[in-house]
């Protein structure tokens, strides 16, 4: 691993995104649509919405994140940048880390912008310890993004790129998604402690970050 390469790639991706705003715009509009559609298809009371909001928020973020994740590597196919990465002596896992961090930043920005909207539409107020929501958000976003970035590198090499990513990502993400939803609901309703779910999310993050860093070289160099 080399932190210089990670930093350079991350800076390049952030600059690209800052100038084009492709990923963030499509994600934001997509998430907004999901919020609006959910909001009038359920039309819940405050008490109900507290119980279902955890699920709605994370499903919306998951779908929106897929939009950004699909662009991670697709962007590098133009002008054969991906091939250039493969022949360069730069370690593959520092490249992966840069991409995952970039996606983490994009999805976090999305969440920061969408959460107030969710609170307005669903009339939400946490009854449990609200600061834990920040921990859940950070761990949950990393869980989605680390596997998402990894599987996006796989799906970009298949025939039907855009469709393949959710097909690979969703089954493996089931425990993380369950943990995020349950933790968020526990905090919002204040009925249960979210501690177990936070520990599970942390374990999920550690396991898949390590696995991705070890196995990314194989995926990048697969011929």
Give the residues lining the site for other proteins (CB under 8 A).
147, 150, 154, 157-160, 164, 167-168, 170-172, 174-176, 178-179, 182, 192, 196-197, 200, 203-204, 207-208, 211, 215, 218-219, 222-223
Q: CB of residue 179 vs other proteins: minimum separation in angstroms?
A: 6
Please check whether residue 203 is in contact with residue 136, taking contact to mean a CB–CB distance below 8 angstroms: no
Would you say 101 or 153 has its CB closer to other proteins? 153
Would you say 114 or 201 has its CB closer to other proteins? 201
Would you say 43 or 223 has its CB closer to other proteins? 223
Would you say 87 or 174 has its CB closer to other proteins? 174
Please check whether residue 68 is in contact with residue 122, taking contact to mean a CB–CB distance below 8 angstroms: no
For tokens 């697969």, the residue is 222
CA dist 193 and 124 (Å) reads: 19
Q: CB of residue 60 vs other proteins: minimum separation in angstroms?
A: 21
Task: Give the Cβ contact number of residue 71 at 10 Å.
Answer: 20
Structure token digits, residue 213? 């860093």
Would you say 130 or 222 has its CB closer to other proteins? 222
For tokens 């969710």, the residue is 118
Q: CB of residue 10 vs other proteins: minimum separation in angstroms?
A: 24
CA distances 178 to 4, 19, 120, 154, 160, Å, are 36, 36, 24, 24, 28
Q: CB of residue 37 vs other proteins: minimum separation in angstroms?
A: 25
CA dist 144 and 44 (Å) reads: 27
């Amino acid at each position: 691993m080399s932190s210089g390469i990670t930093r350079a790639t991350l800076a390049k991706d952030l600059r690209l995104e800052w100038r084009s705003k492709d990923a963030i715009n499509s994600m934001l509009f997509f998430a907004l649509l999901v919020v609006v559609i959910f909001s009038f298809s359920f039309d819940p009371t405050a008490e109900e919405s507290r119980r279902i909001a955890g699920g709605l928020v994370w499903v919306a973020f998951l779908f929106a994140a897929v939009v950004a994740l699909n662009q991670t590597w697709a962007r590098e196919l133009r002008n054969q940048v991906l091939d250039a990465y493969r022949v360069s002596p730069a370690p593959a896992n520092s490249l992966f880390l840069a991409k995952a961090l970039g996606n983490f930043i994009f999805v976090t920005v999305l969440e920061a912008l969408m959460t107030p909207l969710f609170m307005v539409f669903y009339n939400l107020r946490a009854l449990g310890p609200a600061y834990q929501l920040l921990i859940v958000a950070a761990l949950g976003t990393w869980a989605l993004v680390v596997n998402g970035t990894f599987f996006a590198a796989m799906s970009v090499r298949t025939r039907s790129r855009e469709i393949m990513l959710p097909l690979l990502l969703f089954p493996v993400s089931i425990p993380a998604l369950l943990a995020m939803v349950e933790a968020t609901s526990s905090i919002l309703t204040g009925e249960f402690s979210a501690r177990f779910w936070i520990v599970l999310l942390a374990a999920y993050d550690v396991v898949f970050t390590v696995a991705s860093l070890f196995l990314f070289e194989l995926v990048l160099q697969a011929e």
